[in-house]
C-alpha cells in the first residue's frame, strides 16, 4: 500500500509541469486526494464492511468532484488530472500509470449484473470528456482522444478518436501523453478523401463534356458499348477507399 501511495504521489511531478512542491500537490490536487480516499474505501469494501466505503466515496465526491465507486480497482501511479466530473464505476479496472483527465466516464451501458464497466490497461491516456462504456477491454498504451465515446474493445498501442470511437493508426510514430494537439482527426481525413473523389468526378465530367463537343459520334459509340456500361478507360469512383472504409467500419475496432 505504501509503495502504491508513493507512486501516486511521484507520478504527478512527472506528468504535471505545474506541480512545484509536495505541499501543493498534497493539499491542492483533487485527483490525488480522491485516490487516497478511494484506496481506503476500496480496502474496507474488499473486507466486506457495509455502508462505510460508500460513505467515504460520497464524501470524496463532495470534496473533490471525482466519483469513484469503492469496488473499482485502480493500479498504482494513476494520475487523475484536475478531475472534476470524473466517474469510475463499480467493476472498472484501471492499470498502472494511466492518465485520466476531467469529465471522463468509465461507466456501464445498462442494469446488467457482474462485470459491466471497462478494463483499462497500463499507460493509457483518456482525454478530457471521453466516455468509455460497457464491459470492454482497453489495451496497454492506448490513447483516447478528448470527447471520444468508446463502446468496443481497443487493442494495445492504438489511438482512438471520434464519436463513436475509431482507431487511428500512427504508422509507428509515438506521441507523448500530453501532446493532445498531435492526435489525428479521422473525420477530417475522411472528408478530405470524399472531397478528392468529388473533384476527380468533376474533372471526369468536364473531360466527357469536352469530348462530346469535339467528337460526338465517337463518344456516343464509346458510351453505348459494353451493353450500356461506361468504357473501361474511364476511372470510376469507389467508396472502398481505405480511409473512407475504415471510418465507416469503425477503423478496425
pLDDT of residue 113: 80
Pairwise CA distance, residues 186 & 188, whole Å:
5
Supply 183's cell numbers: 492526435
Classify 2-182 by CATH class: mainly beta
pLDDT of residue 236: 46
Which residues are CB-neighbours of 204 under 8 A, at least 6 positions away?
Answer: 234, 235
E strand spans, 75-142: 79-80, 87-88, 93-94, 99-100, 105-107, 119-120, 125-126, 131-133, 137-138
Confidence of residue 223 (pLDDT cuts 50, 70, 90): very low
The residue that leads in pLDDT, 1 or 13, is: 13
What does the pLDDT average to over 177-202? 70
What does the pLDDT average to over 115-133? 94
Domain ranges for the chain: 2-182, 186-248
Contact 72, 38 (CB under 8 A): yes
Confidence of residue 248 (pLDDT cuts 50, 70, 90): low
DSSP character at residue 148: -
DSSP character at residue 231: P
Confidence of residue 101 (pLDDT cuts 50, 70, 90): very high
Above 50 in pLDDT, residue 64? yes
Lowest average pLDDT, out of 63-72, 74-83, 98-107, 160-169, goes to: 160-169
Lowest average pLDDT, out of 17-26, 108-117, 182-191, goes to: 182-191
Contact 116, 89 (CB under 8 A): yes
What does the pLDDT average to over 183-208? 77
Mean pLDDT for the chain? 81
Pairwise CA distance, residues 180 & 173, whole Å:
14
pLDDT of residue 86: 95
Above 90 in pLDDT, residue 181? no
Above 70 in pLDDT, residue 99? yes
Q: How many percent of the chain have pLDDT more than 90?
A: 45
pLDDT of residue 194: 80
User: For residue 32, which of 11, 8, 13 has the smallest C-alpha distance?
Assistant: 8
Enter the pTM of the model: 0.69
What does the pLDDT average to over 55-65? 95
DSSP character at residue 154: B
Amino acid at each position: 500500500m505504501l509503495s502504491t501511495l508513493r507512486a501516486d504521489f511521484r507520478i504527478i511531478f512527472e506528468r504535471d509541469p505545474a506541480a512545484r512542491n509536495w505541499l501543493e500537490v498534497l493539499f491542492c490536487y483533487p485527483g490525488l486526494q480522491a485516490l487516497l480516499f478511494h484506496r481506503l474505501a476500496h480496502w474496507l469494501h474488499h473486507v466486506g464492511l457495509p455502508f462505510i466505503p460508500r460513505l467515504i466515496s460520497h464524501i470524496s465526491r463532495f470534496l473533490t468532484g471525482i466519483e469513484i465507486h469503492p469496488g473499482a480497482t485502480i493500479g498504482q501511479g494513476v494520475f487523475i488530472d484536475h478531475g472534476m466530473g470524473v466517474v469510475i464505476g463499480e467493476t472498472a479496472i484501471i492499470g498502472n500509470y494511466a492518465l485520466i483527465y476531467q469529465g471522463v466516464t468509465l461507466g456501464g451501458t445498462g442494469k446488467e449484473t457482474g462485470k459491466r464497466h471497462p478494463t483499462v490497461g497500463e499507460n493509457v491516456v483518456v482525454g478530457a470528456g471521453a466516455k468509455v462504456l460497457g464491459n470492454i477491454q482497453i489495451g496497454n498504451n492506448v490513447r483516447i482522444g478528448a470527447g471520444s465515446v468508446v463502446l468496443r474493445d481497443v487493442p494495445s498501442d492504438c489511438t482512438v478518436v471520434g464519436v463513436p470511437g475509431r482507431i487511428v493508426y500512427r504508422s509507428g510514430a509515438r506521441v507523448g501523453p500530453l501532446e493532445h494537439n498531435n492526435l489525428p482527426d479521422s473525420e477530417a481525413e475522411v472528408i478530405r478523401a470524399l472531397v478528392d473523389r468529388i473533384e476527380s468526378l468533376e474533372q471526369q465530367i468536364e473531360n466527357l463534356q469536352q469530348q462530346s463537343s469535339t467528337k460526338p459520334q465517337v463518344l456516343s459509340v464509346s458510351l453505348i458499348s459494353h451493353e450500356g456500361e461506361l468504357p473501361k478507360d474511364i476511372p470510376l469512383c469507389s467508396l472502398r477507399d481505405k480511409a473512407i472504409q475504415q471510418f465507416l467500419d469503425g477503423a478496425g475496432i
